[in-house]
Chain A
Amino acid sequence: MNKTITIDGLSVPFQEGQTIMDAALAAGVYIPRLCHNPEFKPHGSCKLCTVKVNGRNVASCTMPAVEGQQVLNDTDELNADRLALTQMLFVEGNHLCPACEKSGNCQLQAVAYYLGMMSPHYNHFYPQREVDASHPDVILDRNRCIYCELCVRASRDADGKNVFGLSGRGIQSSLVVNSASGRLGDTSLAATDKAVQVCPTGAILQKGKGFTVPIGRRVFDHHTIKEIQTGGGHD
């Protein structure tokens, strides 16, 4: 017999070992997420995918699905929490979308649109962050990093290179590069690496590709991140 959970009252099947996020993804149910990418092991850090299970808040990307779970996902309360988390990500970095090549294709921005973020609400940190342009084909702009560790996971698990890592804790966290000089240009990173492709924001960008897609034809110009990430929204 199929095992099932319910998400917002909808019956969703799952297999043993799957997380709530896995089951939702398979069923085409959108749960907002930034640090989770189904191609990689869950990280559970951005907390955007927090859902309410039997009255408790849990990260759906790491929480195993269990028969009979009643999951609340698309509620005003959870979406308000997600909006607050997203606003914190904006003020903790330096996100100047009009000057960012990722704009229109950025998942952080798209989640903000989805959640109806009209302003970052909190006071800005304007942190001092380093830009690393030493690599011939890739630029690392830490101002836009949200510490999702997708590049860390991709470089380690898909590219087998271990180019990226996270150092420090809390507000002192920073994305570090695994070379003696600490510079990207001194690593074996290639522009075709999964680590370069997987960044949800404009922190890791391929050089020479900026603004090649005109405004109006970018991923999120006409489609919400919900439509895109549930496989809808194709023209």
Chain B
Amino acid sequence: MTERQIRLATCSLAGCFGCHMSFLDIDERLFDLVELIEFDRTPLTDIKHCGPCDVGIVEGGVCNAENVHVLKEFRKNCKVLVAIGACAINGGLPSLRNNIDLWDCFQEVYQYEGGLEGGVVPNDPELPLPFDKVHPIYEVVKVDYFLPGCPPSGDAIWRFLTDLLAGREPKLEYEQLHFD
């Protein structure tokens, strides 16, 4: 077995985990991948904090204070930071709320929506502080590569990763580059 030298971390911020699902869609190529890399923090390992890594892949935009802490931890630890998916790149569907007043949003969800017990907006110090707008991650930290798509296909992810791990400038085929 070759030595696994490359450490890779992934996380989902304000995303739906769809990009992670698409990542799993590389199917049996995962076996090839784990020959090349070692996973650090990722939902696959359940490691809670990111250590020094070669590559960090971030799904989702930034919608609350916790997202910023995680994102900064990734930027600090990862030599190469990759934004994956529409949400990390332009805020995506969570940013649909950007033009709705945050308090209106909360009231709609927790108070006006039928069938909810209590009708109270949660307010616990354990809960991350929400921002009034959702932002793409490159508006908070420097991002080295972008992999668009909602989600990008397994093939696009594979193409990207194999290019990156081989030291090539990642380049998608025309049909692999899409924003939806």
The distance from the CB of B37 to the nearest CB of chain A, in whole angstroms, is: 22
- At the interface with chain A, which of B3-11, B46-54, B90-98? B90-98
Known contacts A113-B174, A124-B91, A221-B175; decide if A98 and B99 are in contact (CB<8 Å). no
Q: A104 CA to B179 CA in the complex, in Å?
A: 9
Known contacts A104-B180, A124-B135, A221-B175; decide if A97 and B86 are in contact (CB<8 Å). yes
Q: Are B175 and A222 in contact (CB under 8 A)?
A: yes
Best-buried of A99, A109, A120, A129 by chain B (most CB within 10 Å): A120
Q: Are A120 and B93 in contact (CB under 8 A)?
A: no
Known contacts A112-B179, A120-B90; decide if A128 and B135 are in contact (CB<8 Å). no
Q: Does A95 contact B (CB under 8 A)?
A: yes
Q: Are B177 and A113 in contact (CB under 8 A)?
A: yes
Which of A119, A126, A129 lies in contact with B148, CB distance below 8 A? Answer: A119
Q: Are A119 and B83 in contact (CB under 8 A)?
A: yes
Q: A19 CA to B179 CA in the complex, in Å?
A: 33
Q: Does A224 contact B (CB under 8 A)?
A: yes
Closest chain A residue to B178, Cβ basis: A113
Q: A109 CA to B95 CA in the complex, in Å?
A: 19
- At the interface with chain A, which of B72-80, B107-115, B118-126, B136-144? B136-144
Q: A106 CA to B86 CA in the complex, in Å?
A: 17
Q: Does A14 contact B (CB under 8 A)?
A: no
Q: A126 CA to B86 CA in the complex, in Å?
A: 15
Which of B138, B143, B179 lies in contact with A98, CB distance below 8 A? Answer: B179
Chain B positions within 8 Å of A128 at CB level: 99
Chain B positions within 8 Å of A221 at CB level: 175
Q: Does A231 contact B (CB under 8 A)?
A: no
Q: Does A1 contact B (CB under 8 A)?
A: no
Q: Are A116 and B177 in contact (CB under 8 A)?
A: yes
Which of A94, A98, A121, A123 lies in contact with B86, CB distance below 8 A? Answer: A98
Q: A96 CA to B87 CA in the complex, in Å?
A: 9
Q: Does A90 contact B (CB under 8 A)?
A: yes
Q: Does A103 contact B (CB under 8 A)?
A: yes
Q: Does A180 contact B (CB under 8 A)?
A: no
Chain A positions within 8 Å of B98 at CB level: 94, 126
Q: Does A118 contact B (CB under 8 A)?
A: yes
Q: Are B92 and A126 in contact (CB under 8 A)?
A: no
Q: Does B133 contact A (CB under 8 A)?
A: yes
Which of B96, B146, B150, B175 lies in contact with A119, CB distance below 8 A? Answer: B146
Q: A186 CA to B49 CA in the complex, in Å?
A: 57
Q: A37 CA to B145 CA in the complex, in Å?
A: 34
Q: A100 CA to B150 CA in the complex, in Å?
A: 12
Q: Does B55 contact A (CB under 8 A)?
A: no
Q: A129 CA to B100 CA in the complex, in Å?
A: 11
Q: Are A90 and B90 in contact (CB under 8 A)?
A: yes
Sampled A-B contacts (5; CB under 8 Å): A96-B90, A118-B145, A118-B177, A119-B83, A124-B95
The 6 closest A-B pairs by CB, nearest first: A98-B150, A97-B179, A118-B146, A119-B146, A126-B98, A103-B180
| Known contacts A94-B99, A119-B136; 13 further A-B pairs (Cβ under 8 A) | A95-B90, A96-B93, A97-B150, A98-B86, A98-B150, A113-B177, A118-B146, A119-B148, A120-B136, A121-B138, A124-B136, A126-B133, A222-B174
